[in-house]
Every structure is written in structure tokens, then in C-alpha cells.
């Protein structure tokens, strides 16, 4: 079994007595000092408006991703960008296809923009069923969403499954490849999103600074894709809608990428340790490629909640918990070990 890399002081847990908020898949680490410094400097100018429409941020991101600036659209988190995408390609009453359960934002935003949702159940292993999703696309469908990794299970569709799916989707349908957690995927399982975008002009890759970059409170997300499609999505950009801290935070984060990668490694090591320990206890947990674990089974969510561990809960009693905080991992293990003993 893997040991966590973060030294664990049991007295810390005994003394904290605090609730653990593990329901939002947040990064447990506070902003890096260099990022905080950059933010502080911008805050001194908070009386000034940001750019009317963001130009600098798409340039900074495009440069890092390796695409042209006109292939990037930015917005208020991946959530804001996803909604902009829907608004730009749909007409009222159109359908959006996604797997369920999923990131709650998709059904919520579909409702806001007036799209009807076609929800395709996950397979028994907690994976998105791309064949059924492709088959669910009809002539009223304008958007289909594939998450890689998937939320809430953390599972991955394979590169081959994704290729087959993209080849099967009609070109008039926009595909959102949601890579909100992509930085937690190991290299062996990575897909070349840039190559996919070059091949499929109807594909938009959606990413965020909320998770691996630990900037959820700043609300910065982006999508990249073909210039034609990005141009349509940019038409829905809210004037002054991206805050002036975003460029500074993203630039400082890119400059500190090795430190952020070290944090990601700590989170994924903790994830593997916690999953192995849970499996050992008899809890069913799909292999996760994200910064959370999905604990399957009745009673899990309530057992955690009873001791103040806040998880994202599901109708069948399953729970999704953020990983990375070793103190929280110990609390989860203690609770579920006690529950297993009855």
C-alpha cells in the first residue's frame, strides 16, 4: 500500500475538531505565496475596470496551451464558459446530451438557457457510456458533453473510445470535452487535446483554474477549439466580465508550475493511499483520475455527515469526497472503519 507523502501528526486531528468540507472538489492548498503577491499588487488597482473584452488572458493561456489566441475563450470559471458555449450554439428547445450523475452545473445551465437534457446513465463501472451517448443524439441536439475525468466517479473514457465517439458525432453538434480535472490524469492516460481540436472543428476543450491551480474563488476558466467556433462563443462574452486579477493570477501560476505540479503529486499520492485503504475496508471506490473519490454504497454519505465530514451526496447514499488533505483522509478512514465494525 502506498504511504502518503505528507507527514501526519495525529494530534492535529484530535485537536482540530472542525468540519471537513470535502463536497466541492476543492484544492486543499491555499494560493502559493508568489500568486498571492501578484494578486495583492493587482488589488491596489481595484478601482480600475478590467479589459472591456478579455484579450490578454486568452493570449497568455493560448501561449501556454500551444494554440492561437483566437482559439481561446475565457470566462467566469469553466461554468461560465460552458454556459457561454451553450448560449452560442443552441436555440430554445434544443437538446443537450450528457451522462448522469454529472457535474451539477450541466443540468442547471441547460435549464437556464432553455435546453432540454438527455441524460444517459453511467455504466456499471461508473464510466460514461459513449456509444449510448452518441446514439442519443437526435436532430434537435446541439451540444454533447464528455467529461474526462468524469465527475463524480473520477473515471476515464479511453482515448480510443473518445476518438470513435468524435467520429460518430455529426459535425453540426458541438462537443464539450470537459477537462476540469485534467492535471490529475497521469501521462500514460493523457489524450492530445490539441490534436483532437485540430481534427474536429466542432470540439471545444473546457478547462479551469479552480482545481489543480487552486484558484476556485477567482472564477477563471477557458475553452479552446477551432477559431470559427471560438468566435461564435466569444460573441456571448459579458463586457468587463473577467476580473482584473485573472491575468496576474494565471501568469504567476504558470511561472510557478513546478510548485503546483508538486502539489498535484501530493494530492494524487494521497488519493491512491486513501483509495487503497478504503478498498481494504471493503468500500467500493472506482479508480479515480481526479482530485476526488466516489465512495459507492448506501449509508456512506450519512456516516460521513454524522461526524461533520461534508461530502457531495447521491440519492443511493454514495458520496464523493475531495482528496489531498491527509487529516481529512484519516477522519474519513476512522469514520468508515467504525461504520464497518457496526
Distances (CA, A) of 12 to 18, 225, 243, 306: 11, 46, 37, 20
Smallest separation, CB 334 to ligand PMP (Å): 27
Contacts with 158 (C-beta within 8 Å, 6 or more apart), sequence order: none
User: Which of 4, 80 has the CB closer to ligand PMP?
Assistant: 80
Can you give the binding site for ligand PMP, defined by CB under 6 A?
Answer: 25, 77-79, 103, 105, 147, 151, 178, 180, 208, 210, 216, 221
Smallest separation, CB 214 to ligand PMP (Å): 11
User: Which of 103, 336 has the CB closer to ligand PMP?
Assistant: 103
Before 86, cis peptide (omega within 30)?
no
User: Which of 153, 329 has the CB closer to ligand PMP?
Assistant: 153
| Grid coordinates belonging to 136 | 442519443
Smallest separation, CB 287 to ligand PMP (Å): 17
User: Which of 209, 273 has the CB closer to ligand PMP?
Assistant: 209
Instruction: Tell me how far apart the alpha carbons of residues 174 and 134 are, in angstroms, rounded to a whole number.
Output: 12
Smallest separation, CB 151 to ligand PMP (Å): 4
Before 101, cis peptide (omega within 30)?
yes
Q: For 292, which DSSP code?
A: E
User: Which of 99, 303 has the CB closer to ligand PMP?
Assistant: 99
Instruction: Tell me how far apart the alpha carbons of residues 81 and 96 are, in angstroms, rounded to a whole number.
Output: 16
User: Which of 50, 105 has the CB closer to ligand PMP?
Assistant: 105
Return the closest-CA partner of residue 127 out of 102, 152, 156, 107.
156
What percent of the residues of the chain are helix, what percent strand, and what percent coil, each to the nearest 5?
A: 45, 15, 40
Instruction: Tell me how far apart the alpha carbons of residues 195 and 166 are, in angstroms, rounded to a whole number.
Output: 12
Three-class SS string for 195-245? HHHHHCCCEEEEEECCCCCCCHHHCEEEEEECHHHHHHHHCCCCCCCCCCH
Smallest separation, CB 180 to ligand PMP (Å): 4
Return the closest-CA partner of residue 278 out of 250, 311, 248.
311
Residue nearest to ligand PMP (CB): 77
Smallest separation, CB 91 to ligand PMP (Å): 24
Smallest separation, CB 51 to ligand PMP (Å): 20
User: Which of 210, 335 has the CB closer to ligand PMP?
Assistant: 210
User: Which of 99, 331 has the CB closer to ligand PMP?
Assistant: 99
Smallest separation, CB 324 to ligand PMP (Å): 15
Amino acid at each position: 500500500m502506498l504511504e502518503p507523502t505528507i507527514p501526519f501528526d495525529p494530534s492535529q486531528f484530535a485537536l482540530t475538531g472542525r468540519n471537513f468540507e470535502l463536497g466541492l472538489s476543492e484544492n486543499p492548498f491555499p494560493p502559493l505565496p508568489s500568486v498571492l503577491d501578484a494578486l495583492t499588487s493587482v488589488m491596489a488597482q481595484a478601482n480600475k475596470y478590467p479589459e472591456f473584452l478579455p484579450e490578454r488572458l486568452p493570449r497568455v493561456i493560448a501561449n501556454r496551451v500551444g494554440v492561437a489566441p483566437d482559439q481561446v475563450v475565457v470566462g467566469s470559471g469553466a461554468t461560465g464558459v460552458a454556459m457561454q458555449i451553450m448560449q452560442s450554439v443552441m436555440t430554445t428547445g434544443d437538446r443537450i446530451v450528457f451522462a448522469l450523475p454529472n457535474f451539477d452545473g450541466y443540468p442547471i445551465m441547460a435549464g437556464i438557457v432553455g435546453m432540454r437534457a438527455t441524460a444517459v446513465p453511467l455504466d456499471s463501472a461508473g464510466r460514461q457510456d459513449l456509444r449510448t451517448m452518441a446514439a442519443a443524439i437526435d436532430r434537435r441536439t446541439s451540444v454533447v458533453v464528455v467529461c474526462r475525468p468524469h465527475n463524480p466517479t473520477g473515471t476515464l473514457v479511453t482515448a480510443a473510445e473518445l476518438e470513435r465517439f468524435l467520429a460518430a458525432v455529426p459535425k453540426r453538434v458541438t462537443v464539450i470535452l470537459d477537462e476540469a480535472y485534467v492535471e490529475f490524469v497521469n501521462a500514460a492516460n493523457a489524450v492530445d487535446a490539441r490534436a483532437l481540436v485540430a481534427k474536429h472543428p466542432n470540439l471545444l476543450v473546457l478547462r479551469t483554474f479552480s482545481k489543480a491551480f487552486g484558484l476556485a474563488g477567482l472564477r477563471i476558466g477557458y475553452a479552446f477549439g477551432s477559431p470559427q467556433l471560438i468566435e461564435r462563443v466569444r460573441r456571448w462574452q459579458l463586457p468587463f466580465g473577467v476580473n482584473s486579477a485573472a491575468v496576474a493570477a494565471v501568469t504567476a501560476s504558470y511561472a510557478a508550475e513546478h510548485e503546483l505540479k508538486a502539489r498535484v503529486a501530493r494530492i494524487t499520492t494521497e488519493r491512491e493511499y486513501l483509495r487503497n485503504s478504503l478498498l481494504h475496508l471493503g468500500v467500493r471506490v472506482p479508480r479515480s483520475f481526479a482530485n476526488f473519490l466516489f465512495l459507492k454504497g448506501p449509508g456512506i454519505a450519512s456516516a460521513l455527515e454524522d461526524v461533520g465530514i461534508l461530502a457531495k451526496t447521491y440519492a443511493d447514499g454514495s458520496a464523493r469526497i475531495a482528496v489531498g488533505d491527509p487529516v481529512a483522509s484519516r477522519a474519513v478512514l476512522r469514520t468508515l472503519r467504525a461504520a464497518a465494525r457496526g
